[in-house]
Amino acid sequence: MGGDPAYTRENAGRALGCEAAGGKGRSSRCVSAVETECRVSAEEKLSAVEGIKAASNFLRGTVAAELAEDSDQFSAESIQVLKHHGTYQQDNRDDRAAARADGKAGKQFSMMVRSRIPGGQLTASQLLAELDLCERFGGGTLRITSRQGLQIHGVVKARLRDVIAQINATGLSTLAACGDVNRNVMCCPAPYQTPVHLELQQLAQTLAHHFAPRTRAYREIWLCDAAGTPQRRVDENQGAGDDEPIYGRTYLPRKFKMGIALPHDNCIDVYTHDLGLLAVIEQDRVIGFNVLVGGGLGVTPSNKKTYPALAKRLGFVAARDVVAVAEAVVKVQRDHGNREDRKLARLKYLVDHWGIEAFRARVDAYCGHRLQPLHPAEVHAMCDHIGWEAQGDGRWYYGLNVENGRLADTPQRQWKSALRAICGTLAPGLRLTAHQSILLTNLQERDRPVLEEILRRHGVPLSEETSTVRRWSMACVAWPTCGLAITESERALPGLIDQLEAELDRWGLARDVFTVRMTGCPNGCARPYNADIGLVGKARGRYSVYLGGSPQGTRLNFLFQDLVPLEQIVPLLSPLFAAFRDQRQEGESFGDFCHRCGRDALCALAAPPPPPTA
């Protein structure tokens, strides 16, 4: 279906209601005059996924029919449609190997179900429900993601509807957690009771609501009985009608990510987003935002045209106009983003292709007024919100560092049980961080020893007992569930951190803050390309080692060495740590130091000493 050569941008233009591309009956709600300047030849061949979206009737496709079938897997078309509903089909690659060893052919399919949680804010009962679901219907663990969401892995197809329905019953949603739409809106989760934090967190909710797909497909498929009566609480946006006033019938060319940050706290890595909003604060009030566009980290090494990019500074918008400007940016990408080659479809390629001035002019035209010149406000710090801190209203929050976001009960550490006990005893508020950790909020002074005792009783390390390097580390899921993984990541990083702890101790650097991020392939889901140390799976057991990013997330790192075997990563870095200790300048992080020295100097430092001359 998707490969049908008859499917061209002309059809897509029609689907969008774009007259210039051959469409009729354009909806005025959907497309304004400036948006009809469809700009590409009608003969262009669109990617297969574009065809699937167009034919899906607003994300229905044949999902409902396939759910009723006995088979353990979805069709290729439904797999694409289902991403927009927040779920990926996967197979456990460990089990694949085991099955093969047993002489059995085939894969054992299951679904990953991702919840979209704007700003990472959820309630204790929502977390408890997700924990129950991962045990009843999933692989028994719950994962906090690097974008403030939750993932349950290992849900078999026959249970998918139960899981999605029950997530919705708690007031969360999986709609648009994945797919070619605006995904989870990230925002600093700190529960400080300041007007600025509250306003930004409210904005995250507003943007999430504004950009949620309107299609009724989600509630029809997951939340209604056979007669079409809703069985579950539904977001009022879902059900208004199938006219997608923002996205149109083919949604966006590729995923789209938004994040909101503060200059003194870039905890959500605002420069890695398609659309970043950096709050401009004057006299404790948000007066507006510096708008950043075109961040995105995914790379395909075999395609030399792909690269990781930090967002570029576009202009300033007053707080009252920020949603309109966000909508204009999304619509520019909708209409002009690359729909032929998904590898070149993220907004970053459009921004770079046009240049920031031309992009700004187009955004101005779409929203009908001009962005103002940038405010000097810029990111200058970040906080991971780990440990005890006062909220500002007499209460406390505790940032609990969860290694790689994995909530599991093992004989040594009972993360799930500890969180259940904390929720049951203290009924805290909860927030997920962009570093795959969790904040337990609204605690009284008297709750502090109770919380610490529960953690100790369950073998969960207190954040204060976690080394700095582990606390600032992050890994993507990779093996065994991610079908794109080339190497281990989540299962390899803890061992590597053990080695790093010993090495950093040796050089007196145990208290230095720098980020170490690992991914199992170059797609970059744990944001390795702006970390002080980025480790990217490149070939079985081997990693590209990137150096020179910053804890504030404002600089891309550079490739230092390629194809380094896992066990040689720490020995490779060791002489650099020694040089950093001896030669660092005031206030430099390890990444700053590497950036200042540059690759050649670092290579010389890391090289084994030349053989002695006679």
- Could you list the active site residues? 114, 183, 255, 257, 476, 482, 521, 525
Q: What is the Cα–Cα distance from 267 to 592, expressed in whole angstroms? A: 18
Query: Any residues with CB less than 8 A from the CB of 494 and at least 6 apart, and which?
Result: 403, 404, 470
Q: How buried is residue 3: exposed, middle or buried, by Cβ count under 10 Å (0-12/13-18/19+)?
A: exposed
Per the listing, tokens 């306003």 go with 199
Query: Any residues with CB less than 8 A from the CB of 411 and at least 6 apart, and which?
Result: none
Tokens of 412: 């040594």
Binding window for ligand HEM (CB under 6 A); candidates: 142-150, 208-216, 411-419, 455-463: 142-150
Among residues 145, 441, 550, 557, the one that binds ligand HEM under rule CB under 6 A: 145
Report CA Rg, the chain: 24
Cβ atoms < 10 Å from Cβ of 495:
12
Among residues 523, 544, 552, 589, the one that binds ligand HEM under rule CB under 6 A: 523
Taking Cα atoms as reference points, which of 331, 248, 251, 338 lies closest to residue 26?
Answer: 248
252 contributes a contact to ligand HEM by CB under 6 A:
no
Residue 515 phi, psi (nearest 5): -95, 140
Please, what is the minimum distance in Å from the beta carbon of residue 477 to ligand SF4? 5
Helix H or strand E encompassing 543: strand 542-547
Please, what is the minimum distance in Å from the beta carbon of residue 333 to ligand HEM? 15
Please, what is the minimum distance in Å from the beta carbon of residue 180 to ligand HEM? 12
Contact 156, 72 (CB under 8 A): yes
Binding residues for ligand HEM restricted to 88-107, rule: CB under 6 A: 88, 90
Q: Please identify, using beta-carbon distances, which residue of 60 and 517 lies nearer to ligand SF4.
A: 517
Please, what is the minimum distance in Å from the beta carbon of residue 401 to ligand HEM? 15
Kindly compute the dihedral angle of the four CA atoms of residues 27, 28, 33, 37, in this order, to the nearest 10 degrees.
-20
Binding window for ligand HEM (CB under 6 A); candidates: 49-57, 70-78, 317-325, 479-487: 479-487
Please, what is the minimum distance in Å from the beta carbon of residue 195 to ligand HEM? 29
Q: What is the Cα–Cα distance from 342 to 83, expressed in whole angstroms? A: 15
527's contact among ligand SF4, ligand HEM, none, with CB below 5 to 8 A by partner kind, is: ligand HEM
What's at 142, amino acid-wise?
A: L
Among residues 151, 215, 250, 552, the one that binds ligand HEM under rule CB under 6 A: 151
Contact 347, 180 (CB under 8 A): no
Contact 120, 139 (CB under 8 A): no
Size of the site for ligand HEM (CB under 6 A): 21
Side by side, the strands of the sheet bearing 396-400 are 121-122, 429-432, 438-443, 396-400, 387-390
154's contact among ligand SF4, ligand HEM, none, with CB below 5 to 8 A by partner kind, is: none
Q: What is the Cα–Cα distance from 436 to 401, expressed in whole angstroms? A: 8
Binding residues for ligand HEM restricted to 27-66, rule: CB under 6 A: none
Binding window for ligand HEM (CB under 6 A); candidates: 5-13, 214-222, 480-488, 585-593: 480-488
Please, what is the minimum distance in Å from the beta carbon of residue 475 to ligand SF4? 8
Binding window for ligand HEM (CB under 6 A); candidates: 221-229, 241-249, 517-525, 574-582: 517-525
520's contact among ligand HEM, ligand SF4, none, with CB below 5 to 8 A by partner kind, is: ligand SF4
One-character DSSP codes across 441-452: EEE-TTHHHHHH
Binding residues for ligand HEM restricted to 291-320, rule: CB under 6 A: 297-298
Per the listing, tokens 């197809």 go with 157
481's contact among ligand SF4, ligand HEM, none, with CB below 5 to 8 A by partner kind, is: ligand HEM
Q: Which residues bind ligand SF4 (CB under 6 A)?
A: 476-478, 482, 484-485, 489, 519-521, 523-525
535 contributes a contact to ligand HEM by CB under 6 A:
no
Please, what is the minimum distance in Å from the beta carbon of residue 537 to ligand SF4? 7
* Residue ranges that bind ligand HEM, judged by CB under 6 A: 88, 90, 112, 145-147, 151, 272, 297-298, 405, 476-477, 481-482, 484, 523-527
